[in-house]
Chains A and B, each alone.
Chain A
Amino acid sequence: MSIDKATVAHIAALARIRVPEADLERLAGELRKIVAWIEQLDEIDTSGVEPMASVVEMTTPQRPDEVNDGDCRDKVLANAPAASHGFFTVPKVVE
Chain B
Amino acid sequence: MSLIEGKTGNWEVVIGLEVHAQVVSQSKLFSGAATGFGAEPNTQVSPVDAAFPGMLPVINRFCVEQAVKTGIGIEGKVNPISVFDRKNYFYADLPAGYQISQFTRPIVSGGSIALDLPEGRSRTIGVTRLHLEQDAGKSLHDQHPNLTYVDLNRAGTALMEIVSEPELRSAEEAGAYLRKLRMILRYLGTCDGNMEEGSLRCDANVSVRKPGAPLGTRCEIKNVNSIRFAMLAIDYEARRQIEMIEEGGIVKQETRLFDSARGVTRPMRSKEQAHDYRYFPDPDLLPLVLDPAEIERLRAAMPELPDRKKERFIQDYKLTSYDAGVLVSERLTADFFERVAKGRDARAAANWVTGELFGLLNRAGKGIEQSPVSADAIGALLDLIADNTVSGRTAKDVFAEMFETGKDAAAIVEAKGLRQVTDSGAIEAAVDRVIAEQPEKVAEFRAGKDKLLGYFVGQVMKATGGKANPGTLNELLKKKLSG
A residues near B (Cβ < 8 Å) are 13-14, 16, 53-54, 56, 58-73, 75-77, 84-95
List B28-75 residues whose CB lies under 8 Å from chain A: 31-34, 40-50, 58-64
Partner of B34, one of A59, A64, A71, A87: A71
State in angstroms the CA–CA spacing of A87 and B60 once bound together: 26
The answer to whether A95 and B141 have CB atoms under 8 Å apart is yes
Task: For A13, give the chain B residue with the smallest CB separation.
Answer: B273
Compute how far the CA of A60 lies from the CA of B60 in the bound complex, rounded to whole angstroms: 11
Given contacts A64-B61, A93-B92, A94-B269, contact A84 B32 (CB under 8 A): no
Contact of B152 among A63, A71, A88 (CB under 8 A): A88
A5 CB to closest chain B CB (Å) equals 17
Q: List 12 A-B contacts (CB under 8 A).
A: A13-B273, A65-B26, A68-B32, A69-B48, A71-B34, A76-B47, A84-B144, A86-B40, A86-B41, A91-B147, A92-B147, A92-B148
Which B265-305 residues sit within 8 Å CB-CB of chain A? 268-270, 273, 276, 278, 281, 283, 285-289
Please pick, from B61, B141, B278, B287, the residue contacting A92 in the complex, using a CB distance under 8 A. Answer: B141
How far does the alpha carbon of A71 sit from the alpha carbon of B90 in the complex, in Å?
A: 25
Q: In the complex, are the beta carbons of A93 and B45 less than 8 A apart?
A: no
Contacts of A61 in B (CB 8 A): 58-59
Which chain A residue lies CB-closest to B48?
Answer: A69
Given contacts A70-B34, A87-B41, A93-B270, whether A60 and B148 have CB atoms under 8 Å apart is: no
Distance, CA A59 to CA B58, complexed state (A): 12
Least distance between B406 CB and chain A CB atoms (Å): 36
- Chain B residue at minimal CB-CB distance from A89: B147
**Which A residues lie within 8 Å of B139 (CB)?**
93
- B257 interface residue per 8 A CB criterion: yes
Closest 5 pairs (CB-CB, A-B): A70-B33, A65-B62, A69-B32, A69-B46, A62-B61
Q: How many A-B residue pairs have CB under 8 A?
A: 144
Q: Which size class do B's interface residues fall under?
A: 35 or more
**A residues less than 8 Å from B58 (CB atoms):** 61-63
Name A76's contact: one of B50, B148, B257 (CB within 8 Å): B50
Which of A16, A87, A95 gathers the greatest number of chain B CB atoms within 10 Å?
A87
The docked-state distance in angstroms from the alpha carbon of A79 to that of B74 is 44
- Report chain A residues within 8 Å CB of B41: 73, 85-87
Given contacts A92-B147, A95-B269, contact A70 B32 (CB under 8 A): yes
**Smallest CB–CB gap between A69 and chain B, Å?**
4
Measured between beta carbons, the chain B residues less than 8 angstroms from A71 are 33-34, 43-44
Note all chain A residues with C-beta closer than 8 A to B46.
69-70, 72, 76
Given contacts A53-B281, A71-B33, A92-B147, 17 further A-B contacts (CB under 8 A): A14-B276, A16-B90, A53-B283, A54-B283, A54-B286, A56-B286, A60-B287, A62-B60, A65-B26, A67-B32, A67-B34, A70-B43, A84-B144, A85-B143, A86-B41, A87-B140, A90-B148
What residues of chain A lie closer than 8 Å to B145, measured between beta carbons? 92
**Known contacts A56-B286, A64-B62, A65-B26: A92-B43 contact under CB 8 Å:** no
Let me know if B146 is at the binding interface, CB within 8 A.
yes
Decide yes or no whether B164 CB sits under 8 A from chain A. no
Shortest C-beta distance, B219 to chain A (Å), equals: 16
B25 at the interface (CB under 8 A from A): yes
Interface contact A88-B42, CB-CB below 8 Å: yes
Nearest CB on B from A37, distance (A): 21
- Taking a contact as CB atoms under 8 Å apart, the answer to whether B150 and A87 are in contact is yes
Are B286 and A58 closer than 8 Å at their CB atoms?
A: yes
B27 at the interface (CB under 8 A from A): yes
